[in-house]
Amino acid sequence: MTATVEEHAALVRALVEPVLPHETETVQLAEAAGRVLGGIVLSPVDLPRFRNSQMDGFAVRAADLPGPLPIVGEIPARPGSPAPLEPGTAVRIMTGAVVPDGADAVIPIEDTAVSDGRVSVLRPRAAGEYVRERGGDSRAGDELLPAGIRLSSRHLAALAAAGITAAPVRRRTRIAIITTGSELVPLGREPGPGQIVDANAVALHAAVRAAGAEVAFEARVTDDAAAFRIALDAATGAADLVLTSGGISMGEHEVVREVLGPLGGTIGHVAMQPGGPQATAAVDGVPVIAFPGNPVSTQLSFEVFVAPLLRSHAGLPAARREVRLLDEPLRSVPGKRQFLRGRAVGHERVALVSGPGSHLVAGLAASDLLLVVPEQTTELAKGDSVETIAL
């Protein structure tokens, strides 16, 4: 039986969403960028921590203006508490410096005139101007950051300003990756006759991290069911979710199918190209999502079925979808949703890149969009609209 893309996506979602972690861990701020905040953070202090000057200028009492007022000192932005300001006087002050008790306004230097050690104010000014009051930004006990946001530099700056050195963040999803095939050799080893480099391991590792998860286990196994089962047991013990590539077609030596079938796995086809063969299972309570082994099929299967779930959990935006106009006509296989490779042309159009083959890794690398051609569509003309997904 062939499933639709939506049916298989629902099956994957039902398996994966319950195991996505929601417990938190505490990390130092240097490691917190890009993580999802696991709980509300309250400010332990007032921000600003003390009254300070917004400008370089003169600290004064507004009631003494416009002057002239004798300049009785200078307050730089450095540690310490200045002496109170006496009535009828002014003191030079720098941006960020403590505003002395008694002063209720800061006059920007460009709005003053200085002569013989006295300062006059050139335009009317009121109490409170250019004074940053203690707690004017946030009070101790106020919510500084809400739970569930993805931490960026501005959030980390607020935490640091409040003296917070570490933050509770949602634990990343731990992913195990198992690639299968006796023909595979690791990156860095020269393939012999009939061998290929294991590009899927590299691609899945990078894709998992880009989706906000982490790789907790990796293995490469030959077309041996016993070896795959050993790797699978190790993977389920180390990860929240297991991804595999290869071994689910209908031929011989399909080790993933051989192992997952007796364990109650669902192995079949999805009405899509590339990526028709797909399989799922739950082994010891851990979801196993099995992709076909051709490298383009593996990568697109991850993007279609798993990446959206991981990205949402990690607080990352969904892949951008938009409608563009075809730069050239295309034909499509009836009854299957085609995910063709394309490249953006300007702001509105898209051009096809390479062919539809599931082995064309260079063609996929040259693309920045997927063109989604519906199952019932067999051809589109130049200028027709087509949905695209950003890669």
Q: What is the CATH number of domain 52-132?
A: 2.170.190.11
Q: Percent of the chain beyond pLDDT 70?
A: 99
HSE, side-chain direction, 13 A CA sphere, residue 33: 6
Please state, in angstroms and rounded to a whole number, the distance separating the CA atoms of residues 199 and 187: 8
- Tokens representing residue 371 in the block: 């063109």
pLDDT over threshold 80, residue 178: yes
Q: Where are the domains of the chain?
A: 2-21+172-313, 24-46+136-170, 52-132, 321-390
Give the closest residue to 211 by CA, choosing from 7, 339, 34: 34
Q: What is 271-288 written as a DSSP string?
A: SEES--EEEEEEETTEEE
- Report residue 85's pLDDT band, with 50, 70 and 90 as the boundaries: very high
- The whole-angstrom separation of Cα 297 and Cα 279 is 13
Q: Please name the residue that has the structure tokens 């050690």.
A: 117
Q: What is the pLDDT of residue 1?
A: 72
Neighbours of 185 (CB within 10 A): 15
Q: In the prediction, which pLDDT does 265 show?
A: 92
Digit-coded pLDDT (tens) for 115-152: 999 999 988 889 999 999 999 999 999 999 999 999 99
| H/E element, 330 | strand 330-331
* Tens-place pLDDT, residues 295-313: 999 999 999 999 999 999 9
Longest dimension (CA), the chain: 98
The DSSP secondary structure of 1-17, one letter per residue, reads -EEPHHHHHHHHHHHHG
- pLDDT class for 93, splitting at 50, 70, 90? very high
Average pLDDT over residues 195-205: 93
Cβ proximity of 267 and 333 under 8 Å: no
Q: Please write the tens of the pLDDT for every residue from 23-68.
A: 999 999 999 999 999 999 999 999 999 999 999 999 999 999 998 9
Q: Which CATH architecture has domain 24-46+136-170?
A: Alpha-Beta Complex (3.90)
Other CB atoms within 10 Å distance of the CB of residue 243: 25
**In contact, 310 and 374? CB cutoff 8 Å:** no
Q: Check: CB of residue 269 under 8 Å from CB of residue 3.
A: yes
> DSSP label at 102?
T
pLDDT at 355 over 90: no
Predicted pLDDT at 16 = 97
Give the CATH fold of the 321-390 domain.
Beta-clip (2.40.340)
Query: How confident is the prediction for the chain on average, in pLDDT?
Result: 93
End-to-end CA distance of the chain: 30
pLDDT of residue 188: 86
Query: Can you tell me the distance from the alpha carbon of 224 to that of 239, in angstroms, rounded to the nearest whole number?
Result: 22
Instruction: Report, as an integer, the average pLDDT of 358-385.
Output: 90
Q: Is 311 helix (H, G, I), strand (E, B) or coil?
A: helix
Q: How confident is the model at residue 363 (pLDDT cuts 50, 70, 90)?
A: confident
- CA atoms of 120 and 144, how far apart (whole Å): 41
Domain pair 2-21+172-313 / 24-46+136-170, same fold: no
Nearest to 209 by CA among 109, 310, 129, 308: 310
Across the range 193-205, mean pLDDT stands at 93
**What single DSSP character describes residue 151?**
P
Q: Minimal CA–CA distance to 71: which of 97, 53, 89?
A: 89
DSSP per position, 69-90: EEEEEEE-SSSS-PPPPPTT-E
Per-residue pLDDT for 166 more than 80?
Answer: yes
At 64, is the secondary structure helix, strand, or coil? helix
Q: pLDDT over 90 for what percent of the chain?
A: 87
DSSP reduced 3-state for 63:
helix
Query: In the block, which residue shows the tokens 């299972």?
Result: 281
Query: Of the candidates 351, 358, 360, which has an alpha carbon nearest to the alpha carbon of residue 386?
Result: 351
Q: Which CATH architecture has domain 2-21+172-313?
A: 3-Layer(aba) Sandwich (3.40)
Tally of CB atoms within 10 A around 347:
7
Query: With contact defined as beta carbons under 8 Å apart, do 232 and 260 qualify?
Result: no
Query: What pLDDT score does 358 carry?
Result: 67
- What pLDDT score was predicted for residue 357? 67
φ/ψ region of 34 (left if φ > 0, alpha if ψ in -120 to 50, else beta) reads: left
**What would the two tokens of residue 331 be?**
């034909």
Helix ranges restricted to H, the chain: 5-16, 153-161, 199-210, 225-238, 255-260, 295-301, 307-313, 361-365
Peptide bond into 191 cis (omega under 30): no
pLDDT, tens digit, for every residue of 209-256? 999 999 999 999 999 999 999 999 999 999 999 999 999 987 777 899
